[in-house]
A and B are shown apart, each in its own frame.
Chain A
């Protein structure tokens, strides 16, 4: 076991030394070195974050927090000192911060799920009947031709009376009458249905 550990530890040590050199170059403005460093530490940061968080989205958020912090205070790194402790201290802090924030949020917030949504009237909870588009379209399709056209232009396409008159060739008065009758008919068709729902 010891023999297995030793090369890995040496490799890790080599990694850290390389990171230290990359960071020193990044501080001097070498963007390629900086990009390489950030890509290389991401996996390590993910494993650090995974010690505190379980949700993959949280882990990824934490990793990004750490990267942003590393970026913001990269001038505080002293290349003559090891890179690992510097990075781990920042990573630890960001992980704990997120845990605290989540703890606070859990203390005063509650996830609002569809299951929690309920109203006194039973019909209001039946989302499929409350806003059933298909039923409305079916009802419109059952209207006589003139009324259907009036409803489509004025209500669905939201044209003004004047525009609708131009588009359909009907007079404004005829449109008004057709709309009035259409709404009445629709109310009858849909009302019958909801009445039936209420009864059951």
Chain B
């Protein structure tokens, strides 16, 4: 163990100018913009579902879609807020109302349509294509969010990871309900929240390890012995 004054001298000597974080709302907006771009790109590539006009006339579908999108936006704000040490943990409740509305609109799931057996033999079913969209949306979004919130690792890893996972899940669900004609909410939630919960749950410290590989290093040359 090194003496505290020595540590302070080492830290002071290491202290270069740092760029302050922008306001969390601003950073959440940037991330949501990225999410919108990704969804838009998939829309251009895959095309929206054929029955979108019909579906948009159904109140249930519109409410679910809006609630999912709102959950995504609010959860993203919550994640950016709660990642800062001096902001209240109460921000975690922000997406709760939207989340409740969204979950109450969940219908049949696409969990069961992995392969389609038809005249042309076995083909990947809608679930598989669903999964592709899911991966294309959630992977870059998760990675960006993880990078943008990496400073949360030493202070509030679990809360930040959970709020972030919810944001990614909700946005992915919004995207999928625009592109695929089966409801994939449960699969998305299982995928995003489930995996995040699993990682966080596996040993109380896993969230920190999830961040650890890109967390800011305090002092590389000074081994904390």
Contact = CB atoms under 8 A, between A and B. Distances in A.
A75 B155 contact: no
Contacts of A90: 85, 154-155
B4 A76 contact: no
Interface in A54-76: 57, 60-61, 63-64, 67-69, 71-76
Contact of A28 (B17, B86, B151, B204): B17
Contacts of B57: none
B12 A74 contact: no
Q: Which of A29, A35, A81 lies at the interface centre, i.e. has the most chain B CB atoms within 10 A of its CB?
A: A35
Interface string B140-169: 000000000001001110000000000000
A85 interface: yes
A87 B218 CA distance: 16
B219 A68 contact: yes
Contacts of A85: 85-86
Contacts of B217: 72
B204 A73 contact: no
A100 interface: yes
Given A72-B151, A77-B86, 13 more contacts: A31-B12, A31-B15, A38-B8, A42-B8, A61-B1, A69-B154, A69-B218, A73-B155, A75-B18, A75-B20, A86-B85, A93-B155, A93-B156
B16 A60 contact: no
Nearest to A36: B12
B218 A71 contact: yes
25 contacts: A27-B20, A29-B16, A31-B13, A31-B15, A38-B8, A38-B11, A39-B5, A39-B8, A42-B8, A57-B1, A60-B1, A61-B1, A64-B224, A67-B4, A72-B217, A73-B85, A73-B154, A73-B155, A75-B20, A77-B20, A77-B86, A78-B21, A85-B86, A89-B86, A93-B154
Interface of B: 1-2, 4-5, 7-9, 11-21, 23, 84-86, 151, 154-156, 204, 215-219, 224
Interface of B is mostly: loop
Contacts of B12: 31-32, 34-35, 38
Q: Which of B13, B154, B216, B224 has most A Cβ within 10 Å?
A: B154
Q: Which bucket holds chain A's interface residue count?
A: 35 or more
Nearest to B15: A34
A26 interface: yes
B14 A75 contact: no
